[in-house]
């Protein structure tokens, strides 16, 4: 680790193939970050089981998600790429931090309320204490920055509260993490309900574009994207579907909204949707090709996982040992 650089941590859940929003909002930005920060990127397999998973499918998705990180451009030599469950310090620190987190703080978490409503037959304790594990993820690596979307800000705030409380009792143990919000990130909405974010759990097959969708599938989904009854391609109130498509096209081509409006001035929605689909397919093609190559080399992926687990454990163990010592445990 370069002591001159700040630490950055981000995890992605393996509960499905990442969609276009995950790629533009997280994965693509991670590639740029690995040159500026000491980066820890992980697959959050422990988090995924708050909702029942098919073990065979989950195992395959963990491997797929890991290979995708490398295919997207993350370098295992530059960054620490690991699977959360391969590093026992996450669960260990989570228990300690749960003893420094108030019940009232957790009961106010909106994601707990939302997921409880979605899965009323499985309101488990893990779903309730999930934010403590997330805090452990962040604090183990002394992360200065955590890339967060709007829906994770509340969890980051809880992690900051825990730092304040713990450090207030025991001194300077944890780094105070800050949210890292990239200004250029496209907020990708559902292609079928453009007022809602694109989601892994959407049951409508045409609502989300998955990063491993083939070219024809991507173009077909964009052709079916919901727009409006007008004909003008511009960004103004009431044109949520068109704004979403413009935002995606902008992210794929680096063109501004003004340039897009000029390019499609007088052209129809059909032509615009086709252009967006083709631009997205072109953008994802190199990663898809690299993913096929990496996935075929199973021993390489496994070796990268082992190396990443060792690096993650070595770094995080220092933090955990310090915590155990501070709270009064006998350590060897």
Tell me the mean pLDDT per 10 residues along the chain, length 332.
90 90 88 93 95 94 96 96 98 98 91 79 89 97 90 90 98 96 73 92 92 97 95 92 96 95 95 97 98 96 98 98 97 80
Whole-model pTM over 0.75? yes
Predicted local distance difference test score (pLDDT) of residue 184: 53
Predicted local distance difference test score (pLDDT) of residue 151: 73
Catalytic residue among 197, 221, 239, 273: 197
Percent helix, strand and coil across the chain, each to the nearest 5: 55, 10, 35
Strands 80-83 and 38-43 turn out to be parallel
Predicted local distance difference test score (pLDDT) of residue 185: 54
Catalytic residue among 6, 200, 322, 326: 200
Predicted local distance difference test score (pLDDT) of residue 162: 98
Catalytic residue among 63, 115, 221, 273: 115
List the Cα angle 40/46/48 in 5-degree steps: 105
Domains identified in the chain and CATH numbers: 7-185+298-327 (3.40.50.620), 215-291 (1.10.240.10)
Verify whether residue 197 is a known catalytic residue: yes
Verify whether residue 200 is a known catalytic residue: yes
**Cα distance between residue 307 and residue 313, in whole Å:** 10
């Amino acid at each position: 680790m370069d002591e001159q650089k700040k630490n950055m941590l981000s995890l992605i859940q393996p509960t499905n193939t990442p969609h276009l929003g995950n790629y533009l909002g997280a994965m693509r930005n991670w590639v740029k970050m690995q040159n500026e920060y000491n980066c820890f990127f992980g697959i959050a397999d422990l988090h995924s089981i708050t909702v029942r998973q098919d073990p065979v499918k989950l195992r395959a998705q963990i491997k797929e998600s890991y290979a995708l990180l490398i295919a997207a451009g993350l370098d295992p030599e530059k960054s620490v790429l690991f699977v959360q469950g391969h590093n026992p310090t996450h669960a260990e620190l989570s228990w300690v931090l749960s003893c420094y987190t108030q019940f009232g703080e957790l009961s106010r978490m909106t994601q707990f309320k939302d997921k409880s409503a979605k899965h009323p037959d499985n309101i488990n304790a893990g779903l309730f204490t999930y934010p403590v594990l997330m805090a452990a993820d962040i604090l183990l690596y002394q992360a200065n920055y955590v890339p967060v979307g709007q829906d994770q800000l509340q969890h980051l705030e809880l992690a900051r509260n825990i730092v304040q409380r713990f450090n207030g009792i025991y001194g300077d143990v944890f780094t105070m993490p800050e949210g890292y919000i990239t200004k250029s990130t496209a907020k990708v909405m559902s292609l079928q309900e453009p007022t809602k974010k694109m989601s892994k759990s959407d049951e409508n097959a045409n609502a989300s574009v998955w990063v491993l969708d083939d070219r024809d599938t991507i173009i077909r989904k964009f052709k079916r994207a919901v727009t409006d009854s007008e004909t003008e391609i511009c960004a103004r109130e009431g044109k949520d579907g068109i704004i979403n498509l413009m935002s995606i096209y902008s992210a794929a081509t680096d063109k501004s909204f003004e340039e897009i409006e000029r390019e499609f001035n007088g052209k129809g929605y059909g032509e615009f949707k086709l252009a967006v689909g083709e631009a997205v397919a072109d953008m994802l093609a190199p990663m898809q090709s690299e993913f096929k190559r990496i996935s075929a080399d199973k021993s390489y992926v496994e070796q990268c996982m082992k190396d990443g687990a060792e690096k993650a454990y070595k770094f995080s163990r220092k933090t955990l040992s310090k915590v155990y010592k501070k709270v009064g445990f006998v350590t060897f």
